[in-house]
Amino acid sequence: MNIDIKIQRSLDVDVPYEDVKVLLDDLESTIRRFPKLRKLTKVGSNAYLWEMSAIGSRAANIAHEVSYAAKYSVDAKRGQLSWKPLPEYGNAAIEGHFRLHSQGKATKLSFDVQGKLREVPVPLMYRLLAPSFIQGKFTRLVDTFLENTRDALNTSR
């Protein structure tokens, strides 16, 4: 079963924008904060293959080990990291952006992602519930990524 995901989340951090911009300079460290990321492999200039641990519920027999590759670009002036999927890799196509917004002495982190997970094994009796269930699991991963990023920024001060 193919499942579409679309997530928009944000989090405020009590760190000035100038101190948060380092997230755009160290792309690999920023990516590695994403939960369930099992392996990150460089496949080109600013291009990475993600291999994730199972997402879902093994008890409900809805668990998917997502893998995909994306090409990343940084727009330091706009405070944005964006990515586009590389189609020849994995079982998903995911694109999005991670933005930094100055708010005086604080910064807002915004994360927008959308894409398609392909070949998600879902038992017939769960097919109606699976899309919202998987969307919820991914939303929690994004929230955790933002929290991990906030914590890393706070400890580096």
Domain ranges of the chain: 3-155
pLDDT-derived band of residue 38, with 50, 70 and 90 as boundaries? very high
* Tens-place pLDDT, residues 39-77: 999 999 999 999 999 888 777 777 889 999 999 999 999
CB of 7 closer than 8 Å to CB of 137 = no
What's the confidence (pLDDT) of residue 105? 94
pLDDT at 31 over 90: yes
**Confidence (pTM):** 0.92
Residue with the larger pLDDT of the pair 146 and 125: 146
Is the pLDDT confidence value at 114 over 90? Answer: yes
How much of the chain, in percent, has pLDDT values that exceed 70?
A: 98
The answer, yes or no, to whether residue 122 has pLDDT greater than 90, is: no
- Residue 125 has what pLDDT? 86
For the chain, the average pLDDT equals: 93
Output the pLDDT for position 157.
63
What pLDDT shows up at residue 118? Answer: 94
Q: Which CATH number fits domain 3-155: 3.30.70.1150, 3.30.530.20, 3.30.1300.30, 3.40.50.300?
A: 3.30.530.20
Q: Is the pLDDT of residue 32 over 80?
A: yes
Q: Give pLDDT tens digits for 93-103.
A: 999 999 999 99
